[in-house]
Amino acid sequence: MDSITFTVTPRGSDQPMTIDLGALLTHLQTVPDQRKRRGVRYPLAVMLAIAVLAKLCGDSQVHALADWAHARAAELAAVFGLPRPRMPHPPTWTRVLGNAVAAAAIEIALQPLLARPASAEVPARASRQIALDGKTLRGTIPAAARNGVHLVTAYQVDIGVPLLPVAVPTKANELVVAPTMMAPLDLHGVLVTGDAMFAQRNLSTHIVEAGGDYCWIVKENQPTLYDDLRLLFGPQPDDLPGTSAIPDDFATVRTVDLGHGRLDERVLTSSSLLAEYQGWPYLAQAFQVVRISQRPHRRSRDVRYGITSAPANCLSAAALLGRVRGHWQIENGLHYRRDVSLDEDASLARMGQAPHVLATLNNFICGLTAQAGVTNLAALQRAMAAAVDRWLFIH
């Protein structure tokens, strides 16, 4: 098909976003179709492209996107060169998404559309950030059960692009799939951040020896390291008469933020002293983050500890606090958009790989919006729905 582009500017924004439907279809045509050729009425690439269009227009769940396509069947069939002016019924969508395609193949096919241009310049150490975090798809949790489909995503914080969502096997945890996720990534210049689940020696060693750095929050699941951190940043004994002061290299940075009805003060203190005697692989700095949050009639104080392999000369205390806070952009920039704007938690698709495939398409849409600098996905969906309908019915 010819190159077809939609350029829209969401209301309240001056940042346009362009979707190249021809390029999208071309990349999706590389995805293997696992169906038998006999009886196939709708090409897999066309169905996936229509699913992306429907999600961009605000119809994210299987029945919703099936209805969106059905209402525009004649126009979509003409655009994609289909022999009949029909669109698949919802059970067909579920069956194809669940059994005819692998989520990993879609991710590989679409990733070039999100990748930043290649550069021969070697990035500075810890100049980029990838956040690791997991999310359970709520609609996949059966009644009277605890576990559903749980995906771990690597999220490139500096450009807002999700990478390689991997499903966690039943009776396993996020740590099991983390090395698989890291293997195909170029970690040179990358700081990998994660919560206490990822604070493990083998993963830390793998990241550093692959050219990157790690930054983990540490909790009681690593008791010896946790106790050492509490001791390092705990109250120091007073100097005794006739003795010299205990040497330290503490660096402290403080930020204050006002918003959402509260005043947040964060104080990060970092030190390299622990690296001299703690046996954690490639440890360069330890840090403590104290967050004091004040609301009307309520005050809370939270203390967290962490470690990183990046030394102070490339990751200062101020930069380290920025990375710790930046890790949680995966919640606002990815998980919130998938849950709310793309209605992922309400999805009841459970057949085969359908939940993983739909989450992969959601990740792609979140990556596109972040790449374009669009901050309001809901407004973009409304603008895109109008633009696509205008084009279809004029076409």
- Tell me: the pLDDT tens digits for 285-338? 999 999 999 988 888 999 999 999 999 999 999 999 999 999 988 888 888 888
**Which residues have CB under 8 Å from 114's CB, separation 6+?**
161, 364, 367, 368, 371
* Of residues 142 and 134, more confidently modeled: 134
Q: Please tell me the predicted confidence (pLDDT) of residue 165.
A: 76
Q: Please tell me the predicted confidence (pLDDT) of residue 145.
A: 47
* Of residues 319 and 172, more confidently modeled: 319
Task: Please tell me the distance from the alpha carbon of residue 31 to that of residue 49, in angstroms, as a whole number.
Answer: 12
Angle between helices 90-99 and 44-56 (to 10 degrees): 110
* Of residues 207 and 349, more confidently modeled: 207
Q: What is the rounded average pLDDT of the residues 10-16?
A: 82
What percent of the chain stands above pLDDT 90? 50
Average the pLDDT over each of 115-129, 130-144, 185-199 and give the range with the smallest value.
130-144
Beta bridge partners of 295: 298
Q: Please tell me the predicted confidence (pLDDT) of residue 363.
A: 92
Specify whether the CB–CB gap between 333 and 366 falls below 8 A. yes
Q: Please tell me the predicted confidence (pLDDT) of residue 99.
A: 92
DSSP H helices in the chain: 21-28, 44-56, 62-71, 73-80, 90-99, 103-114, 174-182, 201-209, 223-233, 317-326, 329-330, 336, 354-372, 377-394
Specify whether the CB–CB gap between 88 and 47 falls below 8 A. yes
Topology of domain 128-235+247-331 in CATH is Transposase Inhibitor Protein From Tn5; Chain A, domain 1 (3.90.350)
Q: Please tell me the predicted confidence (pLDDT) of residue 144.
A: 41
pLDDT in tens, 232-284: 998 866 655 555 556 678 999 999 988 777 888 999 999 999 998 888 999 99
Instruction: Decide if pLDDT at 217 tops 80.
Output: yes
Q: What is the DSSP string of 203-233?
A: HHHHHHHTT-EEEEEE-TTSHHHHHHHHHHH
* Highest mean pLDDT out of 11-20, 34-43, 66-75, 369-378: 66-75
* Of residues 352 and 317, more confidently modeled: 317
DSSP H helices in 278-353: 317-326, 329-330, 336
What are residue 157's phi and psi, to 5 degrees? -65, -40
Q: How far is CA 223 from the centre of its chain?
A: 29
Structure tokens at 342: 């793309």
Q: CATH 3.90.350.10 in the chain, residues?
A: 128-235+247-331
Instruction: Decide if pLDDT at 150 tops 50.
Output: yes
Structure tokens at 266: 């964060």
What confidence tier does 130 reach under pLDDT thresholds 50, 70, 90?
very high
Average the pLDDT over each of 154-158, 179-183, 261-265 and give the range with the smallest value.
179-183
* Of residues 395 and 160, more confidently modeled: 160
Average pLDDT, the chain: 87
